[in-house]
């Protein structure tokens, strides 16, 4: 019931994720963004305990493939989950279990992954992928958000969206540079865009940092 664009900036090492979901509080249940370490999304029946486990493995220095394998090996329902992992070196790993609710798919690009389940069609996945690729040169946070907007505009979730988040970290700073959640809203992606644009305008110093990569 969720779709996500997650990515690493090859130049700056920044890691980020933008997600929207039919379920509320996706920002609390889906992601781990650990600046300079890795990013992880556990979707299609989000499981925060799995996110914490995977986050610890990334902190231990495991690469993306190992983390995915361990998560699946320790999950009683691996075929129900959809998981994406990016490590600090830009390695990607993703899986969409056979029992994830359709339409469900993931695609890996150059240091980015798009994933979605219970989306309207493959056009949602394609729109996220193509938009992220086509916006190369824009700041990573903007590309992630544009990817999710494109997925929404291509049909989004079958039942609509209720929550969204945008998170982005820089390798040299433990606190996230971008950390916005919309936990319960009729149009969470639009609300997230509103927050992002308002803060860009209101805080020039923050806007400079966001636009740096």
Q: Which residues bind another protein (CB under 8 A)?
A: 23-25, 27-29, 34, 44-52, 77, 80-81, 99, 174-176, 179-184, 195, 198-199, 202-203
By C-beta, is 65 or 160 nearer to another protein?
160
By C-beta, is 27 or 116 nearer to another protein?
27
- Taking CA atoms, 68 is separated from 10, 42, 182, 213, in Å, by 21, 10, 27, 27
Cβ pair 57, 68 in contact under 8 A = no
By C-beta, is 3 or 180 nearer to another protein?
180
- Give the shortest CB-1-to-another protein separation in angstroms: 10
- Give the shortest CB-4-to-another protein separation in angstroms: 17
Q: Which residues, 6 or more positions from 112, have their beta carbon under 8 angstroms from its beta carbon?
A: 5, 6, 7, 8, 86, 92, 132
CA atoms of 8 and 146, how far apart (whole Å): 15
- Give the shortest CB-72-to-another protein separation in angstroms: 14
Cβ pair 106, 95 in contact under 8 A = yes
By C-beta, is 9 or 182 nearer to another protein?
182
- Give the shortest CB-6-to-another protein separation in angstroms: 17
């Amino acid at each position: 019931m969720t779709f996500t664009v997650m990515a690493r900036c090859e130049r700056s090492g920044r890691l980020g994720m933008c997600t929207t979901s039919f379920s509320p509080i996706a920002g609390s249940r889906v992601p781990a963004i650990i600046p300079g370490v890795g990013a992880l999304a556990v979707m299609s029946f989000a499981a925060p305990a799995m996110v914490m486990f995977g986050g610890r493995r990334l902190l231990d220095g495991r690469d993306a493939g190992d983390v995915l394998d361990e998560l699946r090996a320790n999950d009683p329902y691996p075929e129900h989950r959809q998981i994406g992992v990016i490590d600090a070196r830009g390695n990607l790993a993703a899986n969409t279990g056979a029992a994830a609710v359709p339409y469900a798919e993931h695609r890996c690009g150059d240091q980015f992954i798009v994933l979605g389940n219970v989306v309207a069609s493959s056009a949602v996945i394609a729109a996220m992928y193509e938009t992220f690729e086509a916006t190369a040169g824009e700041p990573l946070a903007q590309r992630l958000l544009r990817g999710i907007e494109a997925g929404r505009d291509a049909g989004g979730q079958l039942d609509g969206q209720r929550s969204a988040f945008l998170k982005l970290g820089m390798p040299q700073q433990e606190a996230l540079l971008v950390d916005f959640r919309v936990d319960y809203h009729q149009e969470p992606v639009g609300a997230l865009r509103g927050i992002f644009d308002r803060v860009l305008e209101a805080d020039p110093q923050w806007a400079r940092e966001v636009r740096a990569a």
